[in-house]
Amino acid sequence: MDKNLNKRKQQWEKTTLAKVLDRFPERKAEFATSSLPLDRVYLPDDLSDEQAQAYLDNLGFPGEYPFTRGVQPTMYRGRFWTMRQYAGYATAEESNARYRYLLDAGQTGLSVAFDLPTQIGYDPDNPLALGEVGKVGVSIPTLRDMERLFEGIPLDKVSTSMTINAPAAILLAMVIAVGKKQGVKPSKLRGTVQNDILKEYIARGTYIFPPGPSMRLITDLFAFCAKEVPLWNTISISGYHIREAGSTAVQEVAFTLANGIAYVQGALDAGLAVDDFAPRLSFFFNAHNNLLEEIAKFRAARRLWARIMRERFGAKDPKSWMLKFHTQTGGSTLTAQQPENNIVRVTIQALAAVLGGTQSLHTNSMDEALALPTEAAVQVALRTQQVIAYESGAADTVDPLAGSYVIEHLTDDIEQQAHEYIERIDAMGGALAAIENGFVQGEINDAAYAYQRAVERDEAVVVGVNKFTTDHEQKTDRDILRVNPAIEQAQRDNVARIRAGRDHNRVADLLSHLETAAKGSDNLMPLFVTCVEHDITLGEICNVLRGVFGEYRPQVTV
């Protein structure tokens, strides 16, 4: 090993590594059939001084800038990634039962899926919610529903992730209120709220308000949590849905980080100091089937974000440079045909996420192309993570594919091409301008169309769909989940009962106060907490904000 690199390794062991080992001893590697032990990290041999410097500039050591090799010096030798299965069923009681099942099965974090009315700020009795209550997740219009969702689940012990965006601040206010009722201070709450509105304008569509007010809600949440809920990740900047819409791996990295730049700049413009909020930013990526490209994608994203935060925004805290991310396996890669094949796809995707250094992981269930997953299918999905963790050996050394010619080549290429995209977006005036002029959506649409044409021409093989198909009809009598339509009426009745039992004068005063505050510039988070504690519903809060902020109407071009 080069003398300079060896000296730098000794320095890393005495500083970065020592700090972690002092607090978190390394776990013992699982017993394996191999008798060959693995070191925590491997480095190249026989480098010239110039090559050694290039190595340090581009790869460095785990837990140190530019974090290509991971955000923690020990990575999974310290502890495994959080195994966080995404789930939400029509009612809070059903979802609570699934969460308890998953926790008993070894899951280490919760991830909440909300129904469509909740995602766009409507109560179950709103006419626009008709036919959608409880269909794609859990219905949470009131604090009482949030209490039932987490009944018996200590919020200071279990990390909670919520996939909610436009009304994210209000749902977080409910979690804070539930925590108080459990005796848990806001400062002890751990979790993540997605809170990423820009990708909603790009790819997903569950927006409510125009960009300006939406960014205010996001930065209000940043500022509030920095003081009151410091362990909470205030945003999960999401490439997942960008990839689900049909983007390439390069586009996923580029457009996600461009959105991240917009959020950082928005927070700075709101008067926040970068190192006060940046350490709690988190990211959310997709994992697709191309194993090597996906591993390189995660490494490239980590390095590119570190450089953006240090060089572009002048962040001083190393935690501000770290790209910490959750991964979900690719929903758009699942097939209704031969759904058992999805177990293999998810295994490959999950392995890519682990080899790429994810901090938490959701593995899709084999039947999710048909419906919300059954218990049997979700258990197999969770077991897939556990087999990778405990049996594969992939977690026994940090960044195990570092130094591979193809992995390093792909990492460099993805970083460079993503950087070029970001430069083009900067020239347009930033992510919001690029979204408003349709550039980002157009690039994704072109990529999605090219892939679909390749599948239709049999140039891209999807096993069981356009190749290796079976002659007999696919079975349609699978044990899949079907939502009981009576749940919708039950939720309407629940909301009506809660409204009838409230202090109506207090509710009217609070809604009036909310309207005044929304027209001003005060942080709205404390008022959201007070509102939900007085049984004001999600829809009522959002309707006040709609009256002040208006609603977003995207430009439609043909």
pLDDT score at 392:
95
473 pLDDT exceeds 70? no
29 pLDDT exceeds 70? no
Instruction: Assign 475 a pLDDT band (cuts: 50, 70, 90).
Output: low
Residues 6+ positions from 457 with CB-CB distance below 8 Å = none
Q: Which of 13-17, 221-225, 370-374 has the lowest mean pLDDT?
A: 370-374
Nearest residue to 235 (alpha-carbon basis) of 193, 205, 276: 193
Instruction: Assign 74 a pLDDT band (cuts: 50, 70, 90).
Output: very high
Mean pLDDT of all residues in 238-267: 98
Dihedral through CA 225, CA 230, CA 231, CA 233, nearest 10?
Answer: 40
Distance CA 165, CA 167 (A): 6
Distance CA 403, CA 462 (A): 31
Q: Is 463 exposed, middle or buried (0-12, 13-18, 19+ CB in 10 A)?
A: middle
The string of pLDDT tens digits covering residues 532-554 is 999 999 999 999 999 999 999 98
188 pLDDT exceeds 90? yes
| Percent of the chain whose pLDDT exceeds 90 | 86
pLDDT score at 41:
95
pLDDT score at 474:
56
The string of pLDDT tens digits covering residues 401-443 is 999 999 999 999 999 999 999 999 999 999 999 999 999 999 9
Give percent helix, percent strand, percent coil of the chain, each to the nearest 5: 55, 10, 40
Mean pLDDT of all residues in 293-314: 98
pLDDT score at 1:
66
CA distances 128 to 118, 122, 124, 133, Å, are 11, 8, 9, 10
31 pLDDT exceeds 90? no
pLDDT score at 505:
98
pLDDT score at 30:
64
pLDDT score at 84:
86
- pTM value is 0.94
478 pLDDT exceeds 80? no
468 pLDDT exceeds 80? yes
Instruction: Assign 34 a pLDDT band (cuts: 50, 70, 90).
Output: low
pLDDT score at 482:
77
Domains and CATH numbers, the chain: 75-456 (3.20.20.240)
The string of pLDDT tens digits covering residues 131-184 is 999 988 999 999 999 999 999 999 999 999 999 999 999 999 999 999 999 999
pLDDT score at 558:
53
Six-digit token string for 457 = 């021409």
87 pLDDT exceeds 70? yes
Instruction: Assign 88 a pLDDT band (cuts: 50, 70, 90).
Output: confident
Higher local confidence (pLDDT), 384 or 470? 384
Mean pLDDT of all residues in 76-104: 90
Q: Is 543 exposed, middle or buried (0-12, 13-18, 19+ CB in 10 A)?
A: middle
Six-digit token string for 447 = 């990529």
- The amino acid occupying position 330 is G
Six-digit token string for 253 = 């990295």
Q: Which sign does the torsion angle of CA 96, 189, 321, 224 carry?
A: positive
The string of pLDDT tens digits covering residues 342-362 is 999 999 999 999 999 999 999
Residues 6+ positions from 207 with CB-CB distance below 8 Å = 120, 165, 166, 197, 200, 201, 214, 552
Mean pLDDT of all residues in 512-526: 98
Higher local confidence (pLDDT), 257 or 106? 257
Instruction: For residue 111, list its beta bridge partners.
Output: 86, 161
Instruction: For residue 236, list its beta bridge partners.
Output: 282
pLDDT score at 556:
67
pLDDT score at 551:
97
Instruction: Assign 105 a pLDDT band (cuts: 50, 70, 90).
Output: confident
| Percent of the chain whose pLDDT exceeds 70 | 97
Mean pLDDT of all residues in 6-31: 88
**Segment holding 453, helix H or strand E:** helix 439-456
DSSP letters spanning 81-102: PEEEEEE--SSHHHHHHHHHHH
Instruction: Assign 195 a pLDDT band (cuts: 50, 70, 90).
Output: very high
pLDDT score at 278:
96
Distance CA 525, CA 232 (A): 14
